[in-house]
Structure formats: structure tokens, C-alpha cells
């Protein structure tokens, strides 16, 4: 078994209410996390866009109306985001975590 110490994993979280989140899944690759969300959101939309954001201001600047935007929150401060406020943004998000 290989050690995961020092590796980065990608947590898929779900914003179910205001600033409340649940961890849904943990993946080893960002692309896998993105594809997981796309497959779960396919009943809502078929056009997705991954947007990398650090704060809510960037979220408002980067999302594209024609897509269901999936956030990759790079700041680690996902609890500052209320994704439920945006129709064009998925309630699922991705955050990275380094295993120490």
C-alpha cells in the first residue's frame, strides 16, 4: 500500500443550506472530482464549466450564465461561500487538501 502522506486530494462538498456543507466524496484527481459532479448534475444541465475561485467576489466575476458553473475553491475557505444563492452555480464544489 502506498502512502498518501504529502499528496493532495480533492474533496467534493455539497452546500445544502446557507454556509453548511457536507463532504460527499474524496478523489485523487481534480478531473475525477469534476466528472463526478457533472454526472450528478446531468439531470439539471449538460453544459458545465469549472471555475477556480478564492473568494465570493471572484465567483460573481467568473461564472458564465450559459453553463452550470462548478467551483474549485482554492483558498480553503469554502465556508465563506453560499452557493445556494446562485442559479448558475452548482451546489457541489471542489476543495483541495494536502495530507500531512
Phi, psi of 71 (to 5 degrees): -85, 130
Q: Which residues pair with 27 in a beta bridge?
A: 10
pLDDT in tens, 51-100: 999 998 898 898 888 999 999 999 878 888 999 888 899 999 999 998 88
DSSP state of 79: G
Q: What is the spatial distance between Cα 61 and Cα 67, in angstroms, rounded to a whole number?
A: 14
Q: Among 90, 79, 93, 100, which residue's Cα sits nearest to residue 24?
A: 93
DSSP state of 4: -
Place of cell 471572484: 58
Given this model, what pLDDT does residue 45 score?
A: 84
Given this model, what pLDDT does residue 51 score?
A: 96
pLDDT in tens, 22-62: 999 999 999 999 999 999 999 888 899 999 999 988 988 98
Q: Is the pLDDT of residue 1 over 50?
A: no
Amino acid at each position: 500500500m502506498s502512502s498518501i502522506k504529502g499528496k493532495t486530494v480533492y474533496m467534493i462538498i455539497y452546500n445544502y443550506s446557507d454556509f453548511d456543507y457536507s463532504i460527499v466524496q474524496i478523489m485523487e484527481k481534480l478531473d475525477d472530482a469534476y466528472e463526478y459532479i457533472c454526472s450528478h448534475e446531468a439531470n439539471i444541465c449538460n453544459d458545465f464549466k469549472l471555475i477556480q475561485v478564492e473568494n465570493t467576489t471572484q465567483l460573481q466575476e467568473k461564472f458564465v450564465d450559459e453553463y452550470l458553473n462548478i467551483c474549485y475553491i482554492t483558498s480553503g475557505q469554502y465556508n465563506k461561500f453560499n452557493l445556494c444563492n446562485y442559479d448558475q452555480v452548482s451546489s457541489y464544489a471542489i476543495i483541495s487538501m494536502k495530507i500531512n
